[in-house]
Structures are given as structure tokens and as C-alpha cells.
């Protein structure tokens, strides 16, 4: 049984955004997306106990 299945999409998004950032495809929108993904994961984990 997977403990946090609703967080998986955020993890996949974060990985893809970080790949793009490391590949030099940075920009304001990309940085904002990374921050949103990180905050979403942190919020989800905080709300689970």
C-alpha cells in the first residue's frame, strides 16, 4: 500500500522541472513552478500527520 499516492504527481512534476532547470532552460516561470511543487509537497506532508 502506498502511503501518499496523491503526492506522486507533484513528485513527478518536481523532477521534470528540476531537470529543465539543470539543463539551462531556466526562467521566472520555471522557478515559480519549482517553488509551487515544493510547497505543494510540503503542505501535503504536513496535512497527513
pTM of the model: 0.78
Quote the CA–CA distance of 41 and 14 in Å, as a whole number: 9
Angstrom distances, CA of residue 27 to CA of 11, 32, 38, 39: 20, 9, 17, 18
Quote the CA–CA distance of 25 and 39 in Å, as a whole number: 21
- Is the pLDDT confidence value at 38 over 80? yes
What does the pLDDT read at residue 49?
55
Q: What are phi and psi of 11, to 5 degrees?
A: -60, -45
Q: How many domains does the chain have?
A: 1
| Domain residue limits at 9 | 5-46
What does the pLDDT read at residue 26?
83
Amino acid at each position: 500500500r502506498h502511503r501518499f499516492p496523491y503526492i506522486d504527481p507533484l513528485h513527478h512534476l518536481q523532477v521534470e522541472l528540476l531537470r529543465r532547470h539543470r539543463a539551462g532552460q531556466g526562467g521566472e516561470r520555471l522557478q515559480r513552478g519549482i517553488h509551487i511543487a515544493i510547497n505543494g509537497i510540503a503542505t501535503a506532508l504536513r496535512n497527513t500527520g
